[in-house]
Structure 1
Amino acid sequence: MIPVVDIFAGPGGLNEGFSSIRDSDGKRVFNTVLSIEMESSAVKTLTLRAAHRFLTDRPGGQPQIYRDYLAQDVTYEEMRASAEVADAFSHAETEVRQFELSEVSRPESDELIRKALPAGQEWVLIGGPPCQAYSLAGRSRRKHDETFKDDHKHFLYREYLHIITEFRPAVFVMENVKGMLSSKNGDGKIFELIEQDLREPGYDLHSMVVSSDTGELKPTDFIIKSEQYGIPQKRHRVIIVGLRRDAQLPAPKVLEPREPVTVHDAIWSLPRLRSGISRRPQSTWEDWAAIRNQAHSFLRAVAGKERASAPDPYKLNTKSTSVRPAERFDKASAAGELQAWLRNDAAPATWNHEARGHMIEDLERYYLLASLVKADGLSPKVRSLPTAHWPKHNNINNLVVPFEDRFRVQVWGKPSSTVVSHIAKDGHYYIHPDPEQMRSLTVREAARLQTFPDNYVFLGNRTQQYTQVGNAVPPLLAAKIAERIAEVLV
């Protein structure tokens, strides 16, 4: 197997994609020998996933105690205490390390990498430096911050560069937000500095969507628009693939475009839920139904009787572990590919599928906005509603309102908007398309839009789980890239 080192690993999106590639005999092509991540909840998720791979691959497969855990019949603590999984977690805790990469900590991280890499074998480096300093939203929030230009997050790619220079992988895959293309430091553009630095140790840089045969690549040629490659999300990210020149490897083939995959294709088969009600933890279904009926009466006033059918009287819970059968898709279609990926070796219970609570006013907005999605699939803006339903923001009456579309329905018939870590703060930008559920997306729904398989369990509290999902690379996209890297190396 080809060793892989994953740094700035997050919850393991890139890692999952590389780990999924198997040869004609069903054996894994890539073997993750080290994952480095500093955030504690993501480390727990990474460790569980590493143990999952170990248990799945060993002779006899997963032990009963682990299958019981996936079925939610035993707790994590009960499963973890079992001798049946001790070897798996011992392996996982060697593979996954909680560690903050920096210039000061290089001696320790170098030693971790040196011990993990088999001598004399070509290997792959994957990962993406934290992107807050590059992102457009991050730069907007810190527009008047004099310390912004000195933010160490601008330069964490130098830790990536140090590992490349010191350990010389045959291939590296580096991911970041497209905001880095326009980000500047002093008089220079961040991306131009990164390009120069990455080529200098003897690497050729390749795009996964524009062939190097077309001539010199432009910075924008490194942007992958995920929705064009079978991912149910409009996620646009810079991904640079570097090949060491003296390894004399052929350029990787570019990804094959696929037809669009939609929110419906990704999340329709998940159990239906109702929202909780903020500040009312003991609220009942009847309390929630009364709010829904009130919102429906508002809808009749806005849209007229012909647009506002009576609410469906079905009862819903705020949490579900049940599993609904997946829809049937043509296996050759992009939607069929997605469902096969999500449901492969599916867990016997639905994980991380719990609706959070919302204020009554927001529940009503969610119902109205989801009900008023236009025939062309455009999500209405909040000021499309009567003024009585506008949020009480100080600038809501201004001619130009910053983030006016922060209330956004993720419509059934299109890819979703980008799932980002801000989903942990509130759900306004991620309103479920079914008005009768009247809520924002759950962690599992966001994870499906990110293409995490249903047996991928996120640990930590719910806010941490949302953050992990929002910070990840879509695993299915990573798998498509990994396939191209495997063709180059095998």
Structure 2
Amino acid sequence: MDNFIERQLGPENERGHWALIGGPPCQAYSLAGRSRRTGDESFASDHKHFLYREYLHILGKFKPTIFVMENVKGLLSSRNGDSSMFQTILEDLKRLPGGASYEIRSLVVDAEPRDLDPSDFIIRSEEYGVPQKRHRVILLGVRSDVAGCLPRSALKKADGPVTVRAALQTMPSVRAETSKRRPKIDQDWVAVQNQALDSVRRMESVSKHEPVKAGTLAIDEYEGWIHETSLSAPIQHDPRAHMVSDLARYRVMAELAERLGKSPKYTDLPVSLHPEHSNVGRERTPFTDRFRVQVWDAPATTVVSHISKDGHYYIHPDPQQNRSFTVREAARLQSFPDNYFFEGARTQQFHQVGNAVPPLLSKQIGVVVADMLGAL
């Protein structure tokens, strides 16, 4: 890796000012990753806790003028033994090899580094024009020898959120096929669906949540970023096939979401549509949101790589479409431009979408970094 970087940068005396942007692997810090290792005594010594040191090694050896380091929000609560991983990383940044040192800044709070709290490093994507509630920890490091020359620069918040409706309103309507596997519900799925919908219609009326006020300027910027005029139709917009039982659930969940103005729990479904899991119906059943509708008039929840396994957390809000999101719809919620092509099988495409930093947010961070480098 060192040799590759040296070839890219050229001789040290000719490099000038440059930036390193990236993020160490997050498996040891994410809430999902930690929950899977609950009770695992080997987790504390897992080398994944310390893969960030490879990133710090590059900082110490090559001394970029500016660096941007991204990781999951769970980093702030992650611990290794009695030590906070976030504080450990900050301390290690003070002891880089080769004498390099950096002033660590926030991209969202204009304050002296000594006055920053850990939460000041959280960037909430929905506040910056991304139609998704994706929260990440991002550190901005400025090399100490130039830090005094560069004023602190914070990202500019959007005038309001970009909603799922704004992100998907130009997507063509498509329907999913049924899976060839034997459905868990033996009855005709249309009959099951109609019976469940009758139950929904008989529910007492409920007060809807007030929809958020979308950002007019934010939507204009988002649409200008997303759309590609040379495309006659969106690419990679083929829905995956679903089991018959899931098609019925998705339809009813979407109908309920329209009534409630929020995603229902699976416990709101008629009993005939409850998933056949061993813990369903027990007291304190976990993951009652295991089926989640992304509601129209709010940003989506975080798109994660698990979408490659199933679409249960990403049910389309239109009951008539009755399916989970396509790769292109997930990509729009991540703010990938429509002309971005995802390689590989659909599972790999979903992985690429779910593991990404939203490109529209990346662009805004890139502008901040470019302006800083341009001022030197």
TM-score, structure 1 as length reference: 0.69
* Structure 2: 5+ residue stretches without partners: 183-187, 206-213
- Residue 149 of structure 1 and its aligned partner are, at CA, apart by 1.6
- Distance in 1, Cα, partners of 2:297 & 2:350: 23
- Matching residue of 2:245: 361
- Matching residue of 1:131: 26
- Distance in 1, Cα, partners of 2:230 & 2:83: 48
- Matching residue of 1:296: 194
1:184 aligns with 2:79: yes
**Any idea what the Cα deviations from partners look like across 1:131-177, whole Å, max 9, x if unmatched?**
11100111111102222122222111111000000000011111100
**Any idea what the Cα deviations from partners look like across 1:325-373, whole Å, max 9, x if unmatched?**
xxxxx99611111111001455344222110011111100000000111
The DSSP-based 3-state class of the residue aligned with 1:372 is: helix
The DSSP-based 3-state class of the residue aligned with 2:257 is: coil
- Residue 486 of structure 1 and its aligned partner are, at CA, apart by 1.5
**Any idea what the Cα deviations from partners look like across 1:387-431, whole Å, max 9, x if unmatched?**
111001111111212111010000110000000011111100000
In 1, are the aligned partners of 2:177 and 2:240 still within 8 Å (CA)?
yes
1:337-352 to structure 2, matched below 5 A, reads 337-344=221-228, 347-352=231-236
The code of the aligned residue for 2:77 comes to: S
- Matching residue of 2:209: none
- Matching residue of 2:132: 233
In 2, are the aligned partners of 1:345 and 1:455 still within 8 Å (CA)?
no
1:278 aligns with 2:162: no
- Distance in 1, Cα, partners of 2:373 & 2:202: 62
CA separation of 1:260 and 1:292: change in aligned 2, threshold 3 A: farther
In 1, are the aligned partners of 2:24 and 2:70 still within 8 Å (CA)?
yes
In 2, are the aligned partners of 1:232 and 1:260 still within 8 Å (CA)?
yes
In 2, are the aligned partners of 1:266 and 1:448 still within 8 Å (CA)?
yes
In 1, are the aligned partners of 2:29 and 2:78 still within 8 Å (CA)?
yes
1:194 aligns with 2:89: yes
- Distance in 2, Cα, partners of 1:150 & 1:305: 52
1:122 aligns with 2:22: no
In 1, are the aligned partners of 2:161 and 2:215 still within 8 Å (CA)?
no
The code of the aligned residue for 1:122 comes to: H
Quick one: which of 315, 327, 330 aligns to 1:446? 330
1:169 aligns with 2:64: yes
* Structure 1: 5+ residue stretches without partners: 1-108, 282-289, 308-329
In 2, are the aligned partners of 1:419 and 1:470 still within 8 Å (CA)?
yes
The code of the aligned residue for 1:263 comes to: V
Query: Alignment identity in percent?
Result: 52
The DSSP-based 3-state class of the residue aligned with 1:373 is: helix
- Matching residue of 1:475: 359
- Matching residue of 2:164: 263
In 1, are the aligned partners of 2:18 and 2:373 still within 8 Å (CA)?
no
- Distance in 2, Cα, partners of 1:120 & 1:424: 41
In 2, are the aligned partners of 1:277 and 1:357 still within 8 Å (CA)?
yes
The DSSP-based 3-state class of the residue aligned with 2:198 is: helix
CA separation of 1:404 and 1:332: change in aligned 2, threshold 3 A: closer
1:421 aligns with 2:301: no
Tell me the C-alpha RMSD between the 2 structures: 2.2
1:152 aligns with 2:53: no
The DSSP-based 3-state class of the residue aligned with 1:237 is: strand
CA separation of 1:383 and 1:207: change in aligned 2, threshold 3 A: same
- Distance in 1, Cα, partners of 2:61 & 2:292: 46
- Residue 294 of structure 1 and its aligned partner are, at CA, apart by 4.7
In 1, are the aligned partners of 2:20 and 2:64 still within 8 Å (CA)?
yes
The code of the aligned residue for 2:164 comes to: V
The DSSP-based 3-state class of the residue aligned with 1:439 is: coil
In 2, are the aligned partners of 1:374 and 1:380 still within 8 Å (CA)?
no
In 2, are the aligned partners of 1:252 and 1:484 still within 8 Å (CA)?
no
In 1, are the aligned partners of 2:265 and 2:289 still within 8 Å (CA)?
yes
- Distance in 2, Cα, partners of 1:483 & 1:252: 13
In 1, are the aligned partners of 2:162 and 2:298 still within 8 Å (CA)?
yes
- Residue 305 of structure 1 and its aligned partner are, at CA, apart by 10
The code of the aligned residue for 2:223 comes to: Q
**Any idea what the Cα deviations from partners look like across 1:420-469, whole Å, max 9, x if unmatched?**
01111110000000011110001110100000000000001111111111
In 1, are the aligned partners of 2:334 and 2:358 still within 8 Å (CA)?
yes
- Matching residue of 1:18: none
- Residue 278 of structure 1 and its aligned partner are, at CA, apart by 1.1
Quick one: which of 359, 377, 389 aligns to 2:261? 377
1:378-417 to structure 2, matched below 5 A, reads 378-417=262-301
- Residue 215 of structure 1 and its aligned partner are, at CA, apart by 5.4
The DSSP-based 3-state class of the residue aligned with 1:175 is: strand
In 2, are the aligned partners of 1:272 and 1:437 still within 8 Å (CA)?
yes
- Residue 376 of structure 1 and its aligned partner are, at CA, apart by 5.4
Instruction: Count residues in correspondence.
Output: 352
CA separation of 1:462 and 1:484: change in aligned 2, threshold 3 A: same
- Matching residue of 1:253: 153
- Distance in 2, Cα, partners of 1:251 & 1:398: 56
1:6-85 to structure 2, matched below 5 A, reads none
1:94-133 to structure 2, matched below 5 A, reads 109-118=1-10, 119-133=14-28
